[in-house]
Amino acid sequence: MITMNSHSNDIDYSNGYMEPEEEWEREGLLDPAWEKQQKKTFTAWCNSHLRKAGTAIENIEEDFRNGLKLMLLLEVISGETLPKPDRGKMRFHKIANVNKALDFIASKGVKLVSIGAEEIVDGNLKMTLGMIWTIILRFAIQDISVEEMTAKEGLLLWCQRKTAPYKNVNVQNFHLSFKDGLAFCALIHRHRPDLIDYHKLSKDNPLQNLNTAFDVAEKYLDIPRMLDPEDLINTPKPDERAIMTYVSCYYHAFQGAQQAETAANRICKVLKVNQENERLMEEYERLASDLLEWIRRTLPWLQSRQADNSLSGVQKRLEEYRTYRRKHKPPRVEQKAKLETNFNTLQTKLRLSNRPAYMPTEGKMVSDISNAWKGLEQSEKSFEDWLLSEMMRLERLEHLAQKFKAKADTHEDWTRGKEEMLQSSDFRQCKLNDLKALKKKHEAFESDLAAHQDRVEQIAAIAHELNTLEYHDSTSVNIRCQRICDQWDRLGNLTQKRRTDLDDAEKILEKIDILHLEFAKRAAPFNNWLDGTREDLVDMFIVHTVEEIQGLIDAHGQFKATLSDADKEYNSIIGLVKDVESTVQKYQIPGGLQNPYTTLTSTDLSKKWSEVKLLVPQRDTTLQAELRKQQNNEMLRRQFAEKANQVGPWIERQMDAVTAIGMGMHGSLEDQLNQLNQYEQNVFAYKPHIEELEKIHQAVQEGMIFENRYTHYTMETLRVGWEQLLTSINRNVNEVENQILTRDSKGITQEQLNEFRASFNHFDKNRTGRLAPEEFKSCLVSIGYSIGKDRQGEIDFQRILAVVDPNSTGYVHFDAFLDFMTRESTDTDTAEQVIDSFRILAGDKPYILSDELRRELPPDQAEYCIQRMAPYKGVNAVPGALDYMSFSTALYGESDL
């Protein structure tokens, strides 16, 4: 604000600005050189405005005396209409017109004291210059404002900022700083580098610098010459008013560029946010596609149930599965956690930048990935169960196959030569005694044959079971079984035929040898018992517990208790042989030592009996070895259970602690983040316990241990718990980081955040990290949010619910709750602000050109806009016109790659 001092003829600046020349002017000592510079500058300044009305002045103290051009000047620079001037030429007419001009100046808040119309009408140069300076200050300089400074300080700061990068320019004032002309050239080059080659200018040639600046400003910027280069150079201290007037013209000439720079900065900020968001979207899509593709490739392998039907083949597949769990899956667990973290970070950034939530492409939602991951884990579980059951089945098959072979070998050894014997006609040449002997022998054979019926049925039953269980070599088993059954049928037919033949000869053969017959009858069952006992003593067995092997040991002990009875039977049978020998020796019966009723001899029975007595302690050794194995398995069960019963509760405690931190129950967000990081370090430090448990588990599986009554934990549940713990830590770290990001960007205090968290937790009774709609409504009411109970209140609440739960999941998570509670207090960019910024760059046109974008924006962001802006289809469109309005709206519309 400018006023006239009531005690002098000079101008007083009530804003506190007083320069030395004004002190001189106060004393009537205004430097003539300054007066000359002011007169030329003010005249040029007035003419730069009067030319708009088609007129000009030549002599500033003469041409304003009648007040007409003075009123016209004020109308041009203010855009307002002054009262109609008096057209008379008398002195009082002129005074009236000048007073009208002075009254208009006073109406704009400028107090003129001791300056009257008479001085202007009389052509007082000092007063006229003071009046024009007042007009310049009010209409050209006063409105200049930079960082809330005064007009002069703001204009000086503007010059300093614009010329700061230039060599040999140091603007400190409006007199000496502009003498060499480089400051004027720097201002022009900063805004229009195409007009001046600043690097060719020299501080040692001020006259050329000044002429260059004044010529370029007049020709290209429509700023008339208001200063004389020689006067500036030759005056020790140029007039500050003259230079300020001229520099203010530069400010107004470049004011549009200043607005464009501000607009460009806003657009760059918005585009940078969009580019970063798109990068995160692309990374999410890439990670999601890669993870889903890996799951898609892995599932057929886990779902395959094809094997070569051999124990070694299944063991190989089990080892492949262990390798998969140890090496291939852990990186994917980390990838899944990173994917969820990136998705949450992206959604937070979109909310903070006032963008809509990101919707991944179809099939790549977080829920889709979770469902695919759940399907993978289910396939893993069923695959491992199938491998173990297949191992049990194949082990059973191998045992049955060996048992089939052992029984088949024994049976074939017994049948060897039997068909030839049954087809023999030897009885036809026998004497009566021999014939009777043959008959008895055949009876013994029939008894023996009947005794072997059970073995044949066992062989057939084993073969049938092998077929049912799909034994891989069932073809050869079937062939051998069929061969045995066919031979058995033939033996039965031949036996029946021979019996008929012997019956026909019974009338001739009557004498029988009682002793031989008794031996044959008793030796055959005993011999079968010996054969069965030998088979039992060498029979293979499969047990899985100490109780099962102890049962076999007890059964073996019971068997050993019967050996004394068997020994009596053996001695009794051998006694029959001794009786035969003594009778033959006594009566010298030719061939009497040959037993016609059986091929068994006492030697055979003695040999087999000796073998049985040797096999008994061997069986003891085998059973004891198996007992030790089962005891070792029991030890493995206890080792696994002991470790699992430590690891399982530890994981559960860590999970509870992480959940509690995630509920905001442990200090500030930074404290929570530090605690979560510490828990993550503890979890990784605890990993050797998991690895130790895996080693024990592998030993358990290799020991074919399929159940453990000492613990309810399985390796699978511990693996899943471990992975869930890692995922929970990563998810909570991400949520806390997003809350920090929200807190800092929204400007809320830790106390506010604690209040929000406490309110949320109060209604989150089950500690799930989410609220149902009614719980959310109660939470809002508890912190002072007004929600009426009428229909309008319900409408308002549904509107809020649509904001915090846009996907209609039926729940409100804490991040959405926090974002809702803070978003209205944050100043965010809007589509309307971006449109206004583009309109400035386009010079108020409804469209913008590629060249304008490339001139105002950085190269990468300019090309970003050009590639995405649609052609402008409106009225007066020119070739290459781009629609910045639809582009700006799209920036805040549906995110789409």
Amino acid 643 reads: K
Instruction: Give the chain's domains with CATH numbers.
Output: 32-266 (1.10.418.10), 275-407 (1.20.58.60), 418-600 (1.20.58.60), 629-739 (1.20.58.60), 747-821 (1.10.238.10), 831-892 (1.10.238.10)
Q: Which is more confident, 871 or 626?
A: 871
pLDDT tens for each residue of 321-367? 889 889 998 999 999 898 888 888 888 888 888 888 889 999 989 89
Give the single-character DSSP code of 556.
H
Please report which confidence band the pLDDT of residue 244 belongs to, taking 50, 70 and 90 as the band edges: very high
Helix axes 715-746, 669-685, angle to 10 degrees: 160
Contact between residue 212 and residue 196 where contact means Cβ atoms under 8 Å apart = yes
Nearest CA among 56, 95, 88 for reference residue 72: 56
**pLDDT value at position 295?**
93
pTM as predicted: 0.53
Contact between residue 512 and residue 502 where contact means Cβ atoms under 8 Å apart = no
Residue 603 makes CB contacts below 8 A (sequence gap 6+) with none
Give the single-character DSSP code of 84.
P
Out of 240-249, 733-742, 767-776, give the one with best mean pLDDT: 240-249
Rounded Cα distance, 457 and 459, in Å: 5
Give the rounded distance of the alpha carbon of 93 from its chain centre.
85
**CA angle at residue 295 from 289 to 298, to 5 degrees?**
140
**pLDDT value at position 811?**
87
Residue 293 makes CB contacts below 8 A (sequence gap 6+) with none
Contact between residue 233 and residue 206 where contact means Cβ atoms under 8 Å apart = yes
**pLDDT value at position 826?**
53
Max CA separation in the chain (angstroms)? 194
- H/E element, 771: strand 770-771
Q: Residue 742: pLDDT above 50?
A: yes
Rounded Cα distance, 699 and 327, in Å: 19
Contact between residue 2 and residue 110 where contact means Cβ atoms under 8 Å apart = yes
Rounded Cα distance, 601 and 860, in Å: 107
Q: Residue 14: pLDDT above 60?
A: no
Rounded Cα distance, 671 and 681, in Å: 15
Alpha helices of 304-431 — where are they, by DSSP H?
A: 311-323, 329-352, 366-415, 418-422
The structure tokens listed for 514 are: 């009682």
Nearest CA among 85, 112, 80, 105 for reference residue 97: 85
Contact between residue 89 and residue 104 where contact means Cβ atoms under 8 Å apart = no
Contact between residue 836 and residue 830 where contact means Cβ atoms under 8 Å apart = no
In this structure, the dihedral spanned by the alpha carbons of residues 373, 376, 382 and 386, taken in order and rounded to 10 degrees, is -160
Rounded Cα distance, 479 and 482, in Å: 5
Residue 13 backbone dihedrals phi, psi, to 5 degrees = -95, 105
pLDDT tens for each residue of 134-180? 888 888 888 776 665 778 888 898 899 889 889 899 999 999 999 99
